[in-house]
């Protein structure tokens, strides 16, 4: 690490320290301010946010959709604040108490099959912060993720969560490492709410509109026998992050692998739809989720 990189790291830590010691109310205000800059001032991808809301909520008024879009950006701003807090988060009771874990029995039941667990999730609340919360409850996670192009920033960002037991699997050529983790009866996180083109995606519907969805979760679950357990997290009104594990998604396979892959991926999409509708103001509407996926 050269001098400029060390100086950049020092600035990051200094900024993170000041954010960490701020009262919760101030942190919330900062998050909303950043979100308002995004949505109302710079209007970054606002057209995409509104277009996505039109797809999911065709019967809501423009005012209602603007409210959801703005609140979503507020939560993204809050995620930035929480990312800074990760620098000084510790493995102690105070940090653990910031998280509430519900439905842990569903995860424990899935582990009993000794096939590993595929965790189906999405960009709701702050997934990166939630990963730490799961780690603080002594649950080891393997998360599929892309690397940053800047090595030192890459080491900082992933290192913050690796301190709490999380391991990262590079998204490129990841199947071997995913199967190894499942064989060790560990949990692997699949973030499934983004567009995935051919050849790694298949044509499915999300909120009634055709698009591309990653087929890897279904394929690797079929190959390993690992159960698929939905998990998501959201912020409550008390400044805590609530992590929810739901019942395993059960699927009866046939002798048609390709059709099963399609149907199970679609079933997972329907589960994500249910979750989005529970907390629409905390989903990240900025993704280009509904890109065109060519018919075969």
Q: What is the 3-state secondary structure (H, E, C) of the chain?
A: CCHHHHHHHHHHHHHHHHHHCCCHHHHHHHHHHHHHHHHHHCCCCHHHHHHHHHHHCCCCCHHHHHHHHHHHHHHHHHHHHHHHHHHHCCCCHHHHCCEEEECHHHHHHHHCCCCCEEEEECCECCHHHHHHHHHHCCCCEEEEECCCCCHHHHHHHHHHHHCCCCEEEECCCCHHHHHHHHHCCCEEEEECCCCCCCCCEEEEEECCEEEEEECHHHHHHHHHCCCEEEEEEEECCCCCEEEEECCCCCCCCCCCHHHHHHHHHHHHHHHHHHHHHHCHHHECCCCCCCCCCCCC
Q: What pLDDT score does 5 carry?
A: 62
Q: What pLDDT score does 210 carry?
A: 97
Q: pTM for this structure?
A: 0.94
**Where exactly are the structural domains of the chain?**
1-88, 92-285
Summarize pLDDT for 84-140 with one digit per residue, the tens.
888 888 899 999 999 999 999 999 999 999 999 999 999 999 998 999 999 999 999
Q: What pLDDT score does 87 carry?
A: 85
Q: What pLDDT score does 1 carry?
A: 59
Q: What pLDDT score does 12 carry?
A: 77
Q: What pLDDT score does 268 carry?
A: 98
Q: What pLDDT score does 180 carry?
A: 98
Residue numbers of the chain with a pLDDT score lower than 50: none
- Which distant-in-sequence residues (6+ apart) come within 8 Å of 54 by Cβ? 65
Q: What pLDDT score does 147 carry?
A: 78
Q: What pLDDT score does 296 carry?
A: 66
- Which distant-in-sequence residues (6+ apart) come within 8 Å of 92 by Cβ? none
């Amino acid at each position: 690490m050269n001098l400029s990189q060390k100086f950049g790291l020092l600035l990051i830590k200094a900024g993170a320290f000041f954010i960490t010691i701020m009262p919760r109310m101030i942190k919330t205000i900062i998050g909303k301010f950043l979100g308002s800059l995004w949505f109302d001032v710079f209007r970054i991808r606002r057209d995409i946010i509104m277009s996505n809301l039109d797809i999911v909520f065709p019967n809501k008024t423009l005012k209602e959709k603007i409210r959801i879009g703005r609140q979503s950006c507020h939560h993204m701003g809050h995620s930035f604040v929480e990312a800074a807090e990760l620098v000084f988060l510790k493995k102690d009771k105070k940090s653990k108490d910031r998280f509430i874990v519900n439905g842990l029995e569903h995860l424990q039941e899935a582990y009993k099959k000794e096939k590993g667990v595929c965790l189906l999730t999405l960009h709701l609340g702050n997934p990166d912060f939630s990963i730490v919360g799961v780690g603080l409850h002594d649950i080891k996670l393997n998360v599929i993720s892309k690397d940053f192009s800047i090595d030192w920033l890459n080491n900082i960002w992933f290192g913050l969560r690796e301190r709490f037991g999380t391991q990262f699997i590079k998204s490129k050529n990841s199947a071997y490492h995913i199967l190894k983790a499942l064989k060790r009866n560990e949990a692997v996180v699949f973030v499934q709410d983004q567009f995935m083109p051919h050849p790694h995606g298949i044509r499915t519907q999300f909120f009634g509109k055709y698009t591309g969805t990653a087929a890897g979760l279904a394929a690797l679950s079929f190959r390993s026998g690992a159960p698929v357990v939905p998990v998501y997290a959201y912020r409550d009104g008390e400044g805590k992050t609530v992590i929810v594990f739901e019942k395993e998604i059960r699927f009866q396979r046939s002798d048609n692998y390709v059709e099963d892959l399609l149907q199970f991926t679609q079933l997972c999409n329907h589960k994500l739809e249910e979750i989005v509708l529970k907390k629409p103001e905390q989903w990240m509407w900025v993704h280009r989720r509904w890109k065109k996926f060519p018919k075969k």
